[in-house]
Amino acid sequence: MNFFKRAWLSLIAKKGRSVLMLIVTSAIMLFVFAGLLINTAANNATEQAKESVGATLTLSANREAAFKKMQQSQSSSSSSRPKLTTSPVKLSDAKKIAKLANVSSYNATTSTSVNTDGFDTVSTTSSSSPMGGMKSSSSTGDITINGVTNTAQSSSFSDKTNKLTAGRQLTSADSGTNNVMIESELAKADSLKVGDTIKVKSTSGSKTYQLKIVGIYKASSSATTQMGPGASDPANTIYTSNTFANTVKGSKYANTADSVTFTISNPSAVNQVKKAGKSVINTSKYSLSADDSSYQTVKASMKNVKSFANKIVWLVSIAGTIILALIVMLQIRERRHEIGVLLSMGESRFKIISQLFVELAMVMVVSLVIAGIGGQFIGNKLGQQLVSQQTTTATSSGTSQAGPGGTTGRPSGAPTGNMQGGMRQNMSNQSSKAKQAKLKVTLSPVQLVKLGAMGFVIILLSVVIAAGGILRLRPKQILLE
Amino acid sequence: MLEVSNLGYWYDHQDNSLFNNVNLTFEAGQSYAVIGQSGSGKTTFLSLIAGLDVPREGTISLDGQDIQQIGLTNYRKHDVSIVFQAYNLLTYMSPLNNVLTAMSITNSSHQGDQQFAKDLLGKLGLTDVQMTQMVTHLSGGQQQRVAIARAMAVDAKLVVADEPTGNLDEANTKEVVNLFQKLAHEQQKCVIIITHEPDVAAACDRQIKLSNHEFVVKDATTV
């Protein structure tokens, strides 16, 4: 009968002691496992954030350089009124950046406005608003045109602020066409549906364009609440191809855009792409700005979660080792007589220690099963609690950094009709995506093996620490005194 | 076979030695009774020749080799089996498993180990049911017989027993003494029994009396 069988007989004969050991080791393993699961889940969440949260680079006119140029011309010439002159982005320049590594796609955006011809815009009704109930109409146009390469990549659609309700979205295949997407409220007000045509005319009134409705979208109410007094109702925004928006703006805007947004496939490479992008463009004309704040928010919160999970693993492991070592020491005191009998028969101390180790190992195997079942549950609860705390902190700090207005406003004369709204949408987008960074705590065989390895290290250390008591013992002292 | 040379032992808290300059020889195929008053040092002597403790002076040799050179663990494992007064059985096992454990630890293999152990326990009066019960469910006499069976099951040359019949009635005492005699005479083992009982001592081939810190051999076999 070897020490394995002795260990087994001891375990089944002393059921109370075995159950107590099982409870203690299960509790230790549960928390170690929960920590390991949270740690792995945080790693996975950070990896997933690279793909799902994404990062973008935006190429636009360099306003700072243009402003400095304006100031210089103001000081050199006092006769004429200074003028801020910015260049639209040439698509040929944008394509150079699109070819760089880690750039998955790009979306050119041009904004302008037109007036209706033969249909009505949607009126913004608000009892508190001085503009309430009035039909919106001004020299800047009563319809806002958002010219894009692909609506699906536009932030309003990707963050679900706008949702397609009928027809289809605009794609790069719509380039050069007069296909449009209109808002559902506008469609309802004018009884328009997919396939119908509408007419708009330029703000100068010189040109009329016939547009074909290929899709209808619904703008969320949250976008409406962000509007300030005098702003156009979001229902009066129509999406067209970038080329059509350029056509409305004038022939000199052909093959240009107000800004081009590049989607970066790997958010951690955003700075690398930005550096490479700056080397292929004229930085005095253009600015290239990175937006990986969503990724950084998720990364930072996951880093905190990982750090906490690591602390759990270490603390529980150390405390568990000490607790188990104390229990084994108490067991050795209780089992001195048995150890003495085995020593008197010539059993080696190594095998006696091994028997104690095997007894604990058998208990540990059952504890692993219990931890496997319970660890995922505890890990999920604990992980979500941690993430919700981290996300709340990260989101509130992100909002406060943006300031109450969300932006500093736009310079006069700049062709950025919806810049403020865009920035607000972007912040909203970041917050919602940061909230989406949930921990998916899942059990895998690798983690169980890792837990098992940790468990066996813990019991090995416990037995080795407690074994000093056995090594000091002499059979005569135990059996005859 | 077993030679004790200039053996001396004392406890730190006592002024005088328990015994000093002891020289004895124990032969295979013989049984020895060590007798003496309580506290005279009989059990300490047993612990020394059984390799449970280390002498302060002198040496104990088995077949000419100092048992400390053999290694006390090895010595206990291969050369000596002990029957304790308090039985010292493994309480979480049955009698059968106690015997099998001793055989396993000492690498004492017999054809059909399990059957050998059962036969041995049967000879000592244990029923099949008692053999598979927990030893704690047995009476003192039954537990003593299990302890004796355990000592008999291993292949040691030397059998050392401390008051092995202390918990047995007269009939069982005779039976156990006969068993020890058989071990000595039929299996050529050296049997050393520590006892208070004159009948048990008389049944042994030699008697060694420990009195006033000196060993006196009744039947002149030694130095």
3-class state of residue A221 by DSSP? helix
- Domain ranges for chain B: 1-59+158-223, 80-155
| Token duo for residue B105 | 């630890």
Q: What are the pLDDT digits (tens) for A414-452?
A: 333 333 333 334 444 444 444 445 666 677 788 788 888
Whether residue A415 is contained in a domain is answered as no
Same domain for A326 and A358: yes
Same domain for A220 and A140: yes
The single residue listed with the structure tokens 């050069």 is A176
pLDDT of residue A129: 42
Whole-number percent of chain B with pLDDT over 70: 98
Q: What are the pLDDT digits (tens) for A343-356?
A: 889 998 889 889 98
pLDDT of residue A310: 80
Q: Mean pLDDT across chain B, nearest whole number? A: 88
**pLDDT at B97 > cutoff 90:** yes
Whole-number percent of chain A with pLDDT over 90: 20
Same domain for A389 and A283: no
Same domain for A141 and A184: yes
Same domain for A128 and A41: no
Which one has a higher pLDDT value, A105 or A43? A105
Buried b (16+ CB within 10 A) or exposed e, B2-19: bbbbebebbeeeeeeebb
Same domain for A32 and A65: no
pLDDT of residue A82: 65
pLDDT of residue A51: 65
Q: How far apart (Å, rounded) are the C-alpha atoms in residues A176 and A155?
A: 22
Whether residue A431 is contained in a domain is answered as no
Write down which residue in A266, A291, A316 finishes a domain.
Answer: A291
Q: Which residue among B47, B73, B75 places its CB closest to the CB of A348? A: B73
| Segment A211-216 mean pLDDT | 94
pLDDT of residue A203: 85
CB contact (8 A) between residue A1 and residue B100: yes
| Segment A407-411 mean pLDDT | 35
**pLDDT at A222 > cutoff 70:** no
In this complex, is the C-beta atom of A350 within 8 Å of any C-beta atom belonging to chain B? no
Same domain for A259 and A136: yes
* Angle of CA points A56, A86, A257, to nearest 5°: 45
Domain count, chain A: 2
Write down which residue in A291, A319, A344 finishes a domain.
Answer: A291
pLDDT bracket for residue A61 (50, 70, 90):
confident
Buried b (16+ CB within 10 A) or exposed e, A448-466: bebbbebbbebbebbbebb
* Selected residue of B56, B72, B73 to mutate for chain A interface (largest A Cβ count, 10 A): B73
Q: How far apart (Å, rounded) are the C-alpha atoms in residues B83 and B148?
A: 6
pLDDT bracket for residue A36 (50, 70, 90):
confident
The single residue listed with the structure tokens 């680079």 is A57
**pLDDT at A410 > cutoff 60:** no
pLDDT of residue B75: 93
Q: Which CATH class is domain B1-59+158-223?
A: alpha beta
**pLDDT at A119 > cutoff 50:** yes
How close B87 gets to chain A, by Cα (Å)? Answer: 10
* Sign, Cα dihedral of A408, A409, A412, A414: positive
Same domain for A36 and A75: no
Q: Mean pLDDT across chain A, nearest whole number? A: 77
| Token duo for residue A243 | 């080329």
- B chain contacts of residue A342, beta-carbon cutoff 8 Å: 90, 105
Q: What is the ipTM of this complex?
A: 0.89
Query: What are the Cα distances from residue A292, in Å, to A25, A42, A58, A203, A401?
Result: 44, 18, 11, 37, 15
Same domain for A222 and A137: yes
Same domain for A240 and A349: no
**Highest mean pLDDT out of A51-55, A93-97, A166-170, A220-224:** A166-170
CB contact (8 A) between residue A346 and residue B78: yes
pLDDT bracket for residue B210 (50, 70, 90):
confident
How far does Cα B106 stand from its chain's mean position? 15
pLDDT of residue A403: 38
3-class state of residue A143 by DSSP? strand
Identify the weakest region by mean pLDDT among A205-214, A223-232, B77-86.
A223-232
Write down which residue in A232, A261, A291 finishes a domain.
Answer: A291
In this complex, is the C-beta atom of A13 within 8 Å of any C-beta atom belonging to chain B? yes
In this complex, is the C-beta atom of A471 within 8 Å of any C-beta atom belonging to chain B? no
Whether residue A31 is contained in a domain is answered as yes
Whole-number percent of chain A with pLDDT over 70: 77
CB contact (8 A) between residue A347 and residue B105: yes
**Contact criterion met (CB below 8 Å) for A297 and A395:** yes
How close B90 gets to chain A, by Cα (Å)? Answer: 6
Query: What are the Cα distances from residue A23, in Å, to A15, A259, A407, B53?
Result: 12, 63, 57, 40
Length of chain B: 223
Query: What are the Cα distances from residue A154, in Å, to A107, A110, A242, A399, B124?
Result: 7, 12, 12, 22, 94
- A chain contacts of residue B152, beta-carbon cutoff 8 Å: none
- Containing domain of residue A113, as a range? 55-291
| Segment B55-59 mean pLDDT | 92
pLDDT of residue A427: 40
